Structure 1
Amino acid sequence: MLFPLVVLILFTSFIGFLGIPFNHKGMDLDILTQWLTPSINLLHSNSKNSVDWYEFVINATFSVSIAYWGIFGAFFLYKPIYSSYIRGVRDLAKLIYFFDRRIIDGIPNGFGVTSFFVGEGIKYVGGGRISSYLFWYLFYVSIFLLIYYFVF
C-alpha cells in the first residue's frame, strides 16, 4: 500500500516540470511550454520589467475571475437539483435504516429474547424432578386428547 502512494507522490511532485524545457533554446516545443514561458521569465532575477508583471496580473486576474464566476454560477444552478436529489436519497436512507433496524435486526433479536424467556421459564418449571416432568407431560397430552376429542 505504501509503494503505490509513493509513486503517486513522485508523479504529483514533478508534474509542474511538464513541458518546461531545461534549456531555453527550443521554446517552440509544445503549447504548454509557450504558455508557461511568461511565468518562468517573471521569476527570473533579471526580469524587472513592469509591463510583464502587469500582463501577468491581468491574465491571472482574468482567469481566476472566470473560475470564481463559474463556481458562483454552479452554486445557484446546481443547488436546487442537488438539494432535491439529496432529500430523496436521505429519505431512502431513512427507510432502509428503519427496515434494517426493525425487520432485519428485529427478527434475530426477537428469537434471542424469546429463547431467553423460554429458557428462564423452563429453568424455574423444571427442577430436575422426574415427577414434575411426568406431571407436565401427562397434562399436555391430556389437553391435546381433549382438543382432539371435541374437535374431531
Structure 2
Amino acid sequence: MAHSEDTRITFARLPEIAPEEIIAHMSDPRMAEHMPLLTFTWDRDRLDAFVATKEACWQRDGLGHWAFLADGTYVGWGGFQKEGEEWDFGLVLRPENFGLGMRIAKQALDFARADARISYVTFLLPPSRRKLGALARLGARALGDVDYEGERFLKFRLDTM
C-alpha cells in the first residue's frame, strides 16, 4: 500500500485494535522470515496473552508497545520494552507498510528522547536482515551479536540524549 507524506501516523494501545487485524498480520507467512522467535500459530489465545504481556509493560514501566495506524488503519505494532536496564525498541509492520518504518521509528523515538529515564535504546535484528541503512540513518551503531531466547541477533544502540 502506497502512503504519501500526508499520511497521518498515530499510535494506539494494542487492546484498541480488532483482534482479527493483529492475528491476520502475525499469521502472514512473510512475518516469520525475519522473526526467528515466531515459531507458533497466532490465534485468539496467543493474541490475548501477547496483549496482556505488552500491557503489563505499560503498567510496570510507564511505556510499552503501541499499535501503529496510518490514516486510522492498523499497519503494525511496536515500541519499547525494558530488558534489564536497557530499553529495547521493536517495530513489526505489515509487509505492505514497510515503507512507513522510518517515519514510525522517528516518531516513536521522539518519546524516548523526551523520557529522562531513557539515555539510549537498543535494537535486536535477526541476521537475516541485510538492509541496515535505516539504523545507520537514525544514528544507531552496531554492538555485535547477542543470544536472545536461544537465537542469534544483531544488537544496535542509539543514544537518545
TM-score, normalised relative to structure 2: 0.19
TM-score, normalised relative to structure 1: 0.20
**RCO greater where, 1 or 2, for CA within 8 Å and sep 6 or more?**
2
Higher helix residue share: 1
**Could you say which structure has the larger radius of gyration?**
1
Higher strand residue share: 2
